[in-house]
């Protein structure tokens, strides 16, 4: 008899579903904000919008919505577009690993962080597959303090990583005094 794999036997804890819910919210918000912005340009094809096109100045000297095609990773590093598929696959693999991790996580802060990073990674992967680059538009470069342009998915990844670090710091056990050991059964 050949062993078989029955997916119906995999029990996903309820707390893991919260991470998946956070991820879904991030993906939807990311894609909706990009669709809204691209529709605001009034063109039928995103390729018709020039890179750097300013859709709207939200707060003069501080925030504007500008189109930037990010064909690299993290803030446009290693750009050029050659890594499109590698970065897409990497994002999906990372999201899958985090989704698996969520099945073993038991802290709300950790679950929130995992969900945000999953959603951000998949939101940007959708762009890479769909357009060949990530659509960035939140532009604070006028301030002179933050020269990069980013999107909702990037924001979710950043907040998620900060929450992962915070969870790690908060969850570390206090060291026991010398000579005190827990008895093992």
**142 falls within a domain:** yes
**157 falls within a domain:** yes
Residue 14 above 70 pLDDT? Answer: yes
- CA–CA distance, 114 with 99 (Å, rounded to integer): 8
**21 falls within a domain:** yes
pLDDT at 179: 57
**97 falls within a domain:** yes
Whether residue 151 contacts residue 134, with contact meaning beta carbons closer than 8 Å, is answered with: yes
Question: How does pLDDT run across 54-112, given as a tens digit for each residue?
Answer: 888 999 989 999 999 988 655 444 445 567 788 899 999 999 999 999 999 999 999 99
**180 falls within a domain:** no
pLDDT at 75: 45
pLDDT at 147: 84
pLDDT at 42: 83
CA angle 30, 31, 35 (to 5 degrees): 120
pTM of whole model > 0.85? no
pLDDT at 150: 93
Q: Which domain holds residue 37?
A: 16-171
pLDDT band at 9 (very low <50, low <70, confident <90, very high): low
Whether residue 112 contacts residue 98, with contact meaning beta carbons closer than 8 Å, is answered with: no
CA distances from 78 to 37, 48, 84, 146, 171 (A): 26, 24, 11, 19, 35
Bridge pairing between strands 134-139 and 149-150? antiparallel
- CA–CA distance, 92 with 139 (Å, rounded to integer): 26
**163 falls within a domain:** yes
Question: How does pLDDT run across 115-168, given as a tens digit for each residue?
Answer: 999 999 999 999 999 999 999 999 998 888 888 899 999 999 999 999 999 999
pLDDT at 22: 97
Strand ranges for 12-148 from DSSP E? 54-59, 63-70, 134-139
pLDDT at 86: 85
**43 falls within a domain:** yes
**181 falls within a domain:** no
Region 8-32: what's the mean pLDDT? Answer: 91
Question: How does pLDDT run across 32-62, given as a tens digit for each residue?
Answer: 999 998 888 888 788 888 888 888 899 998 9
What residues contact 123, with CB distance under 8 A and at least 6 apart? 26, 27, 30, 31, 151, 152, 153, 156
Give the count of domains, the chain. Answer: 1
Whether residue 15 contacts residue 111, with contact meaning beta carbons closer than 8 Å, is answered with: yes
Per DSSP, the residues of 152-171 read: HHHHHHHHHHHHHHHHHHHH
Buried b / exposed e over 40-78, threshold 16 CB at 10 Å, is eeeeeebeebeeeeebeeeeeeebbbbbbbbbbbeebee
Active site residues: 136, 154
Residue 174 above 60 pLDDT? Answer: no
- CA–CA distance, 53 with 95 (Å, rounded to integer): 31
- CA–CA distance, 86 with 72 (Å, rounded to integer): 11
């Amino acid at each position: 008899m050949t062993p078989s794999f029955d997916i119906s036997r995999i029990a996903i804890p309820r707390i893991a579903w919260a991470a998946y819910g956070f991820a879904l919210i991030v993906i939807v918000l990311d894609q909706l904000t990009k669709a809204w912005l691209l529709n605001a340009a009034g063109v039928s094809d995103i390729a018709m919008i020039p890179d750097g096109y300013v859709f709207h100045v939200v707060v003069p000297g501080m925030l504007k919505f500008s189109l930037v095609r990010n064909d690299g990773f993290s803030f446009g590093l290693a750009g050029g577009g050659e890594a499109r598929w590698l970065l897409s696959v990497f994002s999906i693999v990372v999201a899958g690993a985090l989704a698996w991790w969520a099945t073993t996580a038991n802290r709300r802060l950790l679950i929130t962080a995992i969900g945000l990073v999953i959603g951000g990674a998949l939101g940007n992967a959708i762009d890479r597959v769909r357009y060949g680059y990530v659509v960035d538009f939140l532009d604070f470069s006028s301030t002179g303090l933050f020269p990069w342009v980013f999107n909702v998915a990037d924001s979710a990844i950043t907040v998620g990583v900060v929450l992962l670090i915070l969870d790690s710091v908060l969850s570390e056990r206090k060291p026991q005094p010398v000579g005190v050991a827990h008895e093992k059964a």
